[in-house]
A = this chain, B = another copy of it.
Amino acid sequence: MYVIGVDLGGTNFAVGLVDESGKIIARSQGKTKVDDGPQVVAKRLAEAVNEVRKGAEVSAVGIGSPGSIDHNKGVVRFSPNFPGWHDFPLAEEVKKYTNLEIYVENDANAYALGEHTFGVGRGCDHLVCLTLGTGIGGGVITHGVLLRGSTGIGAELGHMNVLPNGPKCGCGSNGCLEALASATAMKKFVLDGYPRHMNSSLFEQKKPDQITPKDIFEHAKMGDHFALSIFDRVVNAIAVAVGSLVNIFNPQLIILGGGIASAGEFLLNPIVERSRDYVLPTMLGTYQLKLSELGKDAGILGAASIVVERMRKM
């Protein structure tokens, strides 16, 4: 028996046929083209689902979507990534063309389920995931249950406040984790700092607006002071958040994923160390911090695990 995972993003989507061990047997991908409208996008996803299923016995399809999701009804209530989608019955529409059971879940929640089912979080009933990318998403499993909250929009860990009066966040607040440690925040620190740090090695090969988080980590590794100062802000912000999350959830595991986490141990190790300053002494030794190992397939595997989790409950 197989399941299909659909990783739906604002720009691209990816679909995979996944076996019980989390191996992706067949794949398809494409451009979301949000402007075509939700019906057309849903049909596009359905076609990709039909392409990867070819002859395989598929139990159901899981879709990880950004935004506020009614997971019971499979409805995308709204999403900043999908302007114009309001209460769109995504599950129903994709089912029309596939005749498969379709489950929809917020993508950050799907990510946590993916870690729980196929990733470093296997066997952990208490885990917290942070996805560090363009924005910062969160997913929490506590006592084996996905934390959705009362209206299904919980676990917005990127909007924990880690520095009151800190930098402006896209959400309108100041000092959210996302405003300090996302790729967007890092790029902004580069642009804001450029006039004062023109002699940074960051700008030897690239213009300020071309600098990526990867560049910042590389130049920080080489000892560039401006890159190190940005790295330091990122590490501190994540360490504060991790400290609070440990004190709140008493988890076994905190998993760092997303593009920025691909910086690996260079990023992980100082976070492990500095977060100890914000953790209750009684919590020390009760948790581990790990990097996701799902890599680029995290989206598909997270979406596939929506189905696995639903079946577990039946």
Contacts and interface: CB of A to CB of B under 8 A. Distances in A.
A155 B280 CA distance: 12
A286 B149 CA distance: 10
Number of copies: 2
Given A126-B149, A286-B151, A278 B172 contact: no
A172 B68 CA distance: 38
B250 A248 contact: no
A252 B152 CA distance: 11
B159 A280 contact: yes
A58 interface: no
A249 to B, nearest CB: 6
Size class of the contact patch on chain A: 35 or more
Contact of A125 (B125, B150, B248, B282): B150
A40 interface: no
B173 A248 contact: no
Interface of A: 68, 78, 125-126, 138, 140, 142-143, 145, 147-157, 159-164, 171-174, 236, 240, 243-244, 247-252, 277-283, 286-287
14 contacts: A78-B282, A126-B150, A138-B248, A142-B149, A147-B249, A151-B286, A153-B286, A155-B250, A156-B247, A156-B248, A156-B280, A159-B247, A160-B244, A171-B281
